[in-house]
């Protein structure tokens, strides 16, 4: 787990090692163990600069980067979990290795198989590889987008880095907001790939590679989440699906426990993380170190459930409790770590939990990705009703159902969300709206005219003929919600604390197996993750398996009505507010007043606005 940065150009840039080292220094938190850099001229008079920071997890003495081999130079971030099997195959084909790192396997795999090596890797990764013989630079990201990579084009020069802050450190890269993505930000609560909030900085999409050759960058997709298409008609496995799933999940956990440093797991007390630690315990002779976070507000804390699981598996358990002060104290710093608005309130507890875990281990396994693979959200059950709801006569919907639901008390926010979202006929608006802030009509009421869409939304999530409503919703989750939000959060918050996070549920072989099953193995009536629940009945207490989903929630709803009211007004409606011109006059004050009075629950929208303001202050302006 590491970070890298650099540039490639068809001519001399004028930048030298000092500039490269300054870019590298912005990534020191991603790799405090080793660093290296290399700046050289290409055969045709171009220039390549590569810098790397390493967090050593495998082969602590080897794997130094940039890594050289004849005409190739590599900088790489991530872990290839099947590197030992690939190494044996490469050795049998005549390759020679100077160390035991997975980095060396990446380099030799590209030499042996070219870009087809990407389909052989089982893991999380991003890399930049200079191929001198071909006169080109190859960039790639793993299938689900666990590891990041950003670009900035300057004519015949390309600047790149594992985080945006490294790109911004290159001379001449401006810190400017891109107003054309603002409407998307308020729909998704993040900016979908390949864009970012920074004008001129883009991210390489998940499951893609790019080639820089003769001053041109071309991007190609090599992986699409399997739920994008209708499932195969042939059964994925002759055995019972529960057994086949458990075998594959067990293997996904086992290969992610390969490490030369101490490791543990995040344990929320929910089904996903509990399943991971239970499988880890089966394969370890030592107690698994587990780390949990909670709050004083009992409705939001799962510490009791996490403690139950930890005792059940005999874990070495650690707990952390947070308060509103933790939120306000850490938000600016987390905005700088993320180089973007903090999309989810859970970023803060995950970061603080990562700091606590970092005192004991260097790597953790997490339950991320289970909901998006196995249909764990309520929306996965409700999405099937969208066509029927949309077919109701307009008077029934607009004059009876919607006014009635809008008048419900504050505590019925989930019902309000379901009605508002099901009423959106366009899946490109509806699918983001389940977790997002505002649909188009809502954006038009809040945002100033210049901040609303200037062109129709692209048909990003158009249905594939024959695909089910469930698979269509899961495809959106796997192609956007995960890489652009949850996995970005997981990478930045753990790397900010200099630890690595591994996610067994997002194993490509496991995902392919689950996608090959009929929908009923994921969703039964209104119960999601059916396959996981049945697989875990032999490993976990029934109270953990069958209790309602809570999710990793932070009590900002209450905090925004209580201790954070002054903080919100100071940031969102004061004279010093940077984002005031984005909104219609009086619109922000109305939202704050409605939330404070308990008339409406606007916690997601308020969080979205607050973090956009913080991004302006602490990323665009670089305030201390």
Backbone conformation region of residue 211, classed left if phi is above 0, alpha if psi is from -120 to 50, else beta: beta
Cα(290)–Cα(493) distance, integer angstroms: 17
**What phi, psi does 467 have (nearest 5°)?**
-85, 145
Q: Compute the C-alpha angle 64/66/67, nearest 5°.
A: 70
Cα(14)–Cα(364) distance, integer angstroms: 42
Higher pLDDT, 363 or 237: 363
Confidence of residue 459 (pLDDT cuts 50, 70, 90): low
Burial of 281 (0-12, 13-18, 19+ CB in 10 A): buried
Within 477-580, residue ranges assigned H as helices are 487-496, 508-515, 530-536, 542-546, 556-561, 565-572
Beta-sheet pairing, 216-221 with 208-213: antiparallel
Cα(4)–Cα(147) distance, integer angstroms: 11
Lowest model confidence (mean pLDDT) among 67-71, 190-194, 405-409, 457-461 = 457-461
For 188-216, how does the pLDDT look when each residue is reduced to its tens digit (9 = 90+)? 999 999 999 999 999 999 999 999 999 99
In this prediction, residues 495-501 reach a mean pLDDT of: 94
Output the pLDDT for position 168: 96
Tell which residue, 178, 177, 171, has the closest CA to residue 157: 171
For the record, the structure tokens of 41 come out as: 């001229």
Output the pLDDT for position 297: 61
Confidence of residue 234 (pLDDT cuts 50, 70, 90): low
Output the pLDDT for position 623: 45
Cα(401)–Cα(420) distance, integer angstroms: 10
Please enumerate in sequence order all residues whose Cβ is within 8 A of that of 283, keeping only pairs 6 or more positions apart, or say none: 250, 253, 254, 257
Output the pLDDT for position 622: 61
pLDDT greater than 90 at residue 617: yes
**If DSSP codes are grouped into helix, strand and coil, which group holds residue 477?**
helix
What are the strands, taking DSSP E only, across 258-346? 263-266, 289-295, 316-322
CB neighbours of residue 170 within 10 Å:
23
pLDDT greater than 60 at residue 236: no
Tell which residue, 300, 188, 186, has the closest CA to residue 610: 186
Percent with pLDDT over 70 in the chain: 94
For the record, the structure tokens of 319 come out as: 């707990």
Output the pLDDT for position 249: 98
In this prediction, residues 501-529 reach a mean pLDDT of: 95
Higher pLDDT, 554 or 472: 472
Q: Does residue 326 contact residue 348 with C-beta atoms inside 8 Å? A: yes
What are the strands, taking DSSP E only, across 386-486? none
Q: What is the pTM of this model?
A: 0.93
**What phi, psi does 46 have (nearest 5°)?**
-80, -170
In this prediction, residues 73-94 reach a mean pLDDT of: 95
Q: What is the DSSP string of 51-106?
A: EEEE---SSSSS--SSEEETTEEEEEEEEETTHHHHHHHHHHTT---SS--HHHHH
Higher pLDDT, 621 or 175: 175
Confidence of residue 239 (pLDDT cuts 50, 70, 90): low
Backbone conformation region of residue 145, classed left if phi is above 0, alpha if psi is from -120 to 50, else beta: left
Find the catalytic residue in 2, 95, 117, 619: 2
In this prediction, residues 604-611 reach a mean pLDDT of: 94
Q: Does residue 125 contact residue 106 with C-beta atoms inside 8 Å? A: yes
Cα(310)–Cα(265) distance, integer angstroms: 11
Q: Does residue 528 contact residue 377 with C-beta atoms inside 8 Å? A: yes
Backbone conformation region of residue 108, classed left if phi is above 0, alpha if psi is from -120 to 50, else beta: alpha
Output the pLDDT for position 206: 97
Cα(423)–Cα(430) distance, integer angstroms: 8
For 586-602, how does the pLDDT look when each residue is reduced to its tens digit (9 = 90+)? 999 999 999 988 888 88
176 is catalytic: no
Q: What is the largest CA-CA distance in the chain?
A: 73
Output the pLDDT for position 462: 66
For 1-55, how does the pLDDT look when each residue is reduced to its tens digit (9 = 90+)? 689 999 999 987 777 889 999 999 999 999 888 889 999 988 888 999 999 998 7
Q: Does residue 611 contact residue 335 with C-beta atoms inside 8 Å? A: yes
Cα(242)–Cα(245) distance, integer angstroms: 5
Beta bridge partners of 76: 127
Cis peptide before 66 (omega within 30 of 0): yes
In this prediction, residues 78-100 reach a mean pLDDT of: 93
**Mean pLDDT, rounded, of the chain:** 90
Confidence of residue 624 (pLDDT cuts 50, 70, 90): very low
For 130-172, how does the pLDDT look when each residue is reduced to its tens digit (9 = 90+)? 999 999 999 999 999 999 999 999 888 999 999 999 999 999 9
Confidence of residue 555 (pLDDT cuts 50, 70, 90): confident
Backbone conformation region of residue 63, classed left if phi is above 0, alpha if psi is from -120 to 50, else beta: left
Confidence of residue 524 (pLDDT cuts 50, 70, 90): very high
């Amino acid at each position: 787990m590491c970070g890298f940065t650099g540039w490639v150009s068809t001519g001399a840039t004028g930048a030298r090692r000092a500039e490269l080292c300054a870019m590298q220094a912005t990534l020191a938190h991603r790799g405090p163990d080793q660093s290296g850099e290399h700046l050289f001229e290409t055969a045709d008079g171009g220039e390549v600069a590569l810098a790397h920071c390493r967090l050593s997890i495998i082969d602590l003495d080897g794997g130094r980067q940039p890594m050289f081999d004849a005409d190739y130079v590599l900088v790489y971030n991530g872990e290839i979990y099947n590197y030992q099997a690939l190494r044996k195959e490469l050795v049998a084909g005549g390759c020679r290795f100077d160390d035991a790192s997975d980095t060396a396997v990446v380099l030799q795999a590209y030499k042996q198989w070219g870009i087809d090596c990407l389909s052989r890797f089982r893991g999380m990764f991003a890399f930049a590889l200079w191929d001198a013989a071909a006169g080109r630079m190859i960039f790639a990201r793993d299938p689900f987008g666990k590891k990041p990579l950003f670009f900035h084009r300057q004519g015949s020069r390309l600047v790149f880095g594992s985080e945006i802050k490294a790109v911004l450190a290159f001379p001449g890269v401006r810190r400017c907001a891109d107003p054309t993505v603002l409407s998307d930000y308020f729909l998704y609560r993040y900016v979908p790939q390949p864009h970012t909030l920074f004008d001129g900085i883009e991210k390489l999409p998940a499951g893609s590679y790019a080639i820089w050759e003769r001053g041109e960058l071309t991007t190609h997709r090599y992986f699409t989440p399997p739920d994008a298409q209708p499932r195969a008609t042939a059964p994925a496995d002759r055995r019972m699906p529960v057994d086949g799933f458990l075998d594959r999940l067990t293997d996904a956990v086992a290969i992610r426990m390969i490490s030369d440093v101490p490791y543990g797991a995040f344990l929320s007390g929910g089904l996903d993380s509990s399943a991971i630690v239970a499988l880890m315990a089966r394969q370890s002779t030592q107690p698994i170190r587990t780390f949990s976070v909670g709050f004083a507000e009992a409705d939001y804390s799962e510490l009791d459930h996490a403690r139950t699981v930890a005792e059940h598996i005999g874990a070495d358990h650690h707990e952390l409790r947070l308060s509103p002060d933790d939120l306000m104290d850490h938000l600016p710093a987390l905005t700088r770590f993320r180089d973007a608005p903090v999309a989810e309130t859970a970023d803060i507890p995950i970061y603080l939990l990562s700091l606590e875990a970092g005192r004991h281990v260097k790597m953790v396994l997490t339950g991320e990705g289970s909901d998006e693979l196995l249909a764990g959200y309520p929306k996965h059950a409700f999405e099937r009703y969208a066509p029927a709801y949309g077919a109701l006569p307009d008077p029934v919907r607009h004059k009876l159902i919607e006014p009635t639901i809008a008048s419900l008390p504050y505590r019925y926010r989930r019902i309000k969300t379901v009605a508002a979202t099901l009423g959106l006929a366009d899946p490109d608006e509806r699918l983001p709206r389940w977790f997002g802030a505002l649909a188009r009509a809502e954006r038009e009421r809040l945002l100033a005219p210049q901040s609303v869409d200037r062109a129709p939304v692209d048909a990003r999530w158009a249905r594939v003929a024959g695909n089910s409503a469930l698979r269509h919703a899961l495809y959106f989750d796997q192609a956007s919600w995960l890489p652009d939000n949850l996995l970005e959060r997981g990478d930045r918050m753990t790397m900010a604390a200099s630890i690595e996070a591994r996610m067994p549920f997002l194993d490509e072989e496991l995902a392919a197996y689950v996608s090959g099953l009929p929908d009923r193995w994921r969703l039964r009536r209104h119960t999601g993750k059916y396959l996981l629940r049945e697989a875990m009945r032999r490993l976990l207490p029934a109270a953990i398996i069958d209790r309602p989903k809570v999710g990793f929630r932070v009590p900002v709803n209450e905090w925004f009505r209580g201790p954070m009211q002054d903080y919100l007004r100071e940031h969102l409606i004061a004279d010093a507010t940077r984002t005031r011109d984005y909104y219609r006059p009086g619109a922000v004050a109305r939202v704050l007043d409605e939330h404070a009075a308990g008339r409406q629950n606007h916690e997601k929208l308020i969080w979205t606005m607050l973090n956009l303001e913080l991004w302006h202050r602490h990323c665009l302006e670089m305030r201390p």
